[in-house]
Amino acid sequence: MAQAYAAAVETPRPSAPAAAGEAGRLTIERAVGLLAGRARCRLADAHRHLLRMAAEEDRGLLEVATGVIRMLDVADADSSIPGFDTVRVPQQIGGIADRLASTERLGNLGWGEWDLITGEIFWSDQLYRIYERDPRLGPLVPGADPNALAEDEPLRAAAKAQLARGDRVDLVTRIRVNGRIKHLRTVADASRDADGRPLRVYGIVQDITAQEAGAERLAEVERELVEQRRSLAAEHELAGRLQRIILPIPDGPLVLPGLKVALRYLPAGQESLVGGDWFHAAELRDGSVLLAVGDVAGHGTQAATTMAQLRHALRALAVTTSCPAELLRHLNTLTCELARETPELASTAVVARFDPNRNEIVWAQAGHPPPLLSRGGRTAPLERPAGPMLGVVDDATYATARLGFHIGDVLLLYTDGLVEHRRRGPDDGLASVIATVDEAVRASPGQPLAQLLARLRQTNPDDDTCILAARPVTGKTQDLRRYLASTTWNA
């Protein structure tokens, strides 16, 4: 009702018959205001309703307005109001009053008036309920409410000055009732004399405590979301720094004994999804080359931290053994230990050792997608040797497989973000990657790695992806490391 009343008082005020004078104009205006406030309609609609009532009763507008004021000024309609038919008035105006009283209760609002000439104050029944005041005590004098909070006094003083200037008042103040704080919205205006002095103040008070409580809860939720975003941003930044420190991606291909290796890291589409994908490519002390790709389940700082532990562990363990199966067995023991501190921790990995003297690769895997081998223009996944995921089975053992690796071959190691998507099966993604590898090799058979990495895209945007592509080279192959600083490089 308060919003309807606020809209109503902005409507041009109704005019009285010329013969009625200023007093008549104020009476009609008061009746229109009462009807608009009680019926939650605009002043223009209330004025038209008043005119229709006058026409139906075949009485003057001022006479009907006087009757409306008397009817709505008292809790009990008086059927003996002069000038009104004792049967017809209760049927028309009394019915409206009953419906408006019901509306007041539903809207948790009440209305009141203050005659500044006589000092008379009237409160509707609902206003007494809002203030939880016994009607036998009568209404409170405006500005003299002992329950009003002192902190809101500046608001009340400003509203009083605003009303004195001839403006409508719309403010929210608080009262303390029975140990509880209530938020009350007041919309008020005044009837004035010819000089603009207020004669009668009338307004609507609505209990908006529930709305304010809801707004406070929403504000609290918003603060929590802001704090959560800050926390997520901080975690993302930390995980990102860890990832850049632990997993620096080279600007160009790595030239290792008998191999050229190209690497690419594709981050997840969402900044908060920093993952645990990792790679390793390094020369061993015996002149062979160790290649590895792994994927720690999950995202965030925990995944990045576990990724760092596994990658550094692999590098350290490679000093003691170069057997891929033994390396995975040790990594599984480490992951199982970490899983005792972090339940449901799991990881996959594939580790391969290339012997340039024999042009042979020995490899093992731990629950990881199969590597792809491109040979003679045709790409196919390698058959995986047995091996469970890391961190799932204590004392797990891993088998190895061997394959020749010769000039013209291309080996692709990757994490599951390249082939798996929640809306498609892994076979669909794998077929797409195989087609892409074939296209890249056909486009640049002599130096396919750059073409390959430029064409590959992750299938799952919610997961990061690590790609390692390798091809054999002869001792006569040009060392391309001097081109690392350039924006393009051949592989």
In this structure, is residue 48 part of a structural domain?
Answer: yes
* Residue 271: φ, ψ to 5°: -60, -30
In this structure, is residue 220 part of a structural domain?
Answer: yes
Kindly list the distances between the CA atom of residue 27 and the CA atoms of 42, 58, 166, in Å, as whole numbers in the listed order. 18, 19, 18
Query: What CATH number does the domain containing 165 carry?
Result: 3.30.450.20
Query: Cβ–Cβ contacts within 10 Å for residue 173, how many?
Result: 19
In this structure, is residue 490 part of a structural domain?
Answer: no
Query: What CATH number does the domain containing 274 carry?
Result: 3.60.40.10
- Alpha-carbon span 348 to 243, nearest angstrom: 18
Burial class of residue 147 (count of CB atoms within 10 Å of its CB; 0-12, 13-18, 19+) = middle
* Residue 290 in tokens: 């160790």
**Angle at the Cα of 468 (from 463 to 471), degrees rounded to 5?**
155
Domain that holds residue 80: 1-107
The confidence score (pLDDT) of residue 134 equals 92
Report the candidate in 15, 39, 19, 38 with the shortest Cα–Cα distance to residue 28: 15
The confidence score (pLDDT) of residue 5 equals 37
- Alpha-carbon span 380 to 370, nearest angstrom: 9
User: Which residues, at least 6 apart from 476, have a Cβ–Cβ distance to it below 8 Å?
Assistant: none
* Residue 130 in tokens: 């809002």
pLDDT in tens, the chain (491 residues): 334 333 433 433 444 555 557 778 888 888 777 776 665 556 766 777 778 777 766 778 888 788 777 766 543 333 333 333 333 333 443 455 555 566 566 667 888 888 888 889 999 888 899 999 999 999 988 877 888 888 988 998 898 888 888 888 888 989 998 889 999 988 888 888 888 888 889 888 888 888 887 777 767 766 777 787 777 677 667 656 665 666 677 778 999 999 999 998 887 655 445 668 899 999 999 999 999 999 998 766 777 778 888 988 999 999 999 999 999 999 999 999 888 887 777 899 999 999 999 999 999 999 999 999 999 989 999 999 999 999 999 999 999 999 999 999 999 999 988 887 655 555 678 898 999 999 988 988 888 888 888 888 755 666 778 899 999 998 654 443 433 334 344 55
Centroid of chain to Cα 405: 51
- Both 84 and 225 in one domain: the answer is no
Within 93-179, strands assigned E span 109-115, 121-123, 169-177
- Alpha-carbon span 427 to 199, nearest angstrom: 84
Domain finish residue from 199, 233, 267:
233
Burial class of residue 171 (count of CB atoms within 10 Å of its CB; 0-12, 13-18, 19+) = middle
The confidence score (pLDDT) of residue 475 equals 64
- Both 345 and 463 in one domain: the answer is yes
- Both 190 and 60 in one domain: the answer is no
In this structure, is residue 258 part of a structural domain?
Answer: yes
Specify the residue for token string 């798996």: 420
Report the candidate in 41, 46, 37 with the shortest Cα–Cα distance to residue 206: 37
- Both 78 and 154 in one domain: the answer is no
Domain finish residue from 76, 107, 138:
107
Q: Do 348 and 366 meet the contact criterion of CB atoms below 8 Å apart?
A: yes
In this structure, is residue 491 part of a structural domain?
Answer: no
- Alpha-carbon span 251 to 274, nearest angstrom: 21
Task: Identify the helix (H) or strand (E) that includes residue 334.
Answer: helix 324-341
The confidence score (pLDDT) of residue 262 equals 93
> 380 - beta bridge partners?
373
Centroid of chain to Cα 140: 46
The confidence score (pLDDT) of residue 42 equals 62
The confidence score (pLDDT) of residue 24 equals 81
Domain count, the chain: 3
User: Which residues, at least 6 apart from 195, have a Cβ–Cβ distance to it below 8 Å?
Assistant: none
pTM flag (> 0.75):
no
Domain finish residue from 107, 132, 156:
107
- Both 479 and 443 in one domain: the answer is yes
- Both 364 and 430 in one domain: the answer is yes
The confidence score (pLDDT) of residue 295 equals 92
The confidence score (pLDDT) of residue 287 equals 94
- Both 295 and 410 in one domain: the answer is yes
In this structure, is residue 241 part of a structural domain?
Answer: no
- Both 121 and 219 in one domain: the answer is yes
- Both 403 and 266 in one domain: the answer is yes
Question: What would you report as the CA-atom Rg of the chain, rounded to the nearest whole angstrom?
Answer: 42
The 3-state DSSP class for residue 473 equals coil
In this structure, is residue 76 part of a structural domain?
Answer: yes
The confidence score (pLDDT) of residue 375 equals 95
The confidence score (pLDDT) of residue 351 equals 98
- Both 179 and 268 in one domain: the answer is no
* Residue 301 in tokens: 């700082």
- Both 301 and 429 in one domain: the answer is yes
- Both 463 and 348 in one domain: the answer is yes
**Angle at the Cα of 331 (from 326 to 337), degrees rounded to 5?**
135
The 3-state DSSP class for residue 303 equals helix
The 3-state DSSP class for residue 195 equals coil
In this structure, is residue 240 part of a structural domain?
Answer: no
Residues recorded for the chain = 491
> Sign of torsion, CA 485 487 488 491?
positive
The confidence score (pLDDT) of residue 91 equals 45
- For helices 21-39 and 2-9, what crossing angle results, to 10°? 150
